[in-house]
Amino acid sequence: MHWMRKIGRLGVLAATAGGAIAGYVIASEENRKTALASWTTGYTPSVKWDWNWDRREVHSLVKPLKSKDENNNSLDGHDDRYEKVRPTASRHLIFIRHGQYNLEGASDHERYLTSLGREQAALTGLRLQELTYPYSRVVYSTMTRATETAEIILKKLDNVEVIERCDLLREGAPIPPEPPIGSWKPEMHFYVDGSRIEAAFRKYVHRAPASQEKDSYEVFVCHANVIRYFVCRALQLPPEAWLRLTLHNGSMTHLVVRPDGRVGLWQLGECGYMPPEKLSRT
């Protein structure tokens, strides 16, 4: 028999008939609720959720009052300026990995999509079309394989308001992975690529502005390393874990950024709409 007993106003303890006990305490901090877990594994989160991770928390968008008197003069100490910049809509960010490409190419120009890669892009474009989301923007990497993938996908989508090409979304080595990869890679690559990919994350992954009235759906066609790093950063997981994730060619990864800054991962590397013989990870 399962039972649950409240501990004061802020705590809950749950137990099962089998004797296993799992408890958590809900603590209120600046009107936010934080779950402090204590499970049988003994794991304790080292870092709490950063509500201002994108630097768009309302308190960081409003200039502080010069004196306490200004705050006291407002009705019940409430500052209406916060409401003017508070988001109300969610942003749906759909990241597409490019299709299979020619691995024998010596330069980016020669690393074009294979016939299978073009089929994968077409299947992904059809899937996006079937979902019937009101896509407002498509942004794609300037690398050949991503550009070709985006061009095929765009043929399946109607009335996309904004189409952009972006160098920041090019493939690269975002951060040294943990555990380390089998082969050695000069730190220089992470040092250069990492700052660019982080800049792309800050540019595209954030909550909606207060001026956005409806939920938005945006498509980004880029690369596996970029997408894997974005997922770890958006979920506030250790970014060094990016290499532990695997994405198929042409797959879709769907992140949702809520108005309050919460981020949800709806899909990671979704490719179930492709026949098994069309799947690849190169």
Question: Distances in Å between the alpha carbon of 79 and those of 30, 64, 97, 260, 263?
Answer: 15, 10, 44, 18, 26
Say if CB 269 and CB 86 are below 8 A apart: no
DSSP-assigned letter for residue 36: E
Other CB atoms within 10 A of residue 9 CB = 7
Q: How many Cα atoms are found within 13 Å in the side-chain-facing hemisphere of 3?
A: 6
pLDDT in tens, 27-61: 555 556 655 555 556 555 567 899 999 999 998 99
Quote the pTM value: 0.83
The reply to whether 141 and 240 lie within a common domain is yes
Q: Do 24 and 112 belong to one domain? A: no
Region 195-215: mean pLDDT is 97
Q: Are residues 100 and 171 in the same domain?
A: yes
Range of the domain at 111: 91-278
Element (H, E) at 13: strand 11-15
> Rounded distance, CA 275 to CA 282, Å?
17
Two tokens, residue 140: 């794609």
Structure tokens at 268: 């990671």
Asked if residue 155 and residue 33 are part of one domain, the reply reads: no
Tens of pLDDT, residue by residue over 91-121, are: 999 999 999 999 999 999 999 999 999 999 9
Whether residue 61 sits in one domain with residue 166: no
Residue 24 predicted with pLDDT over 60: no
Determine the Cα angle at 281 with ends 276 and 282, to 5°.
Answer: 130
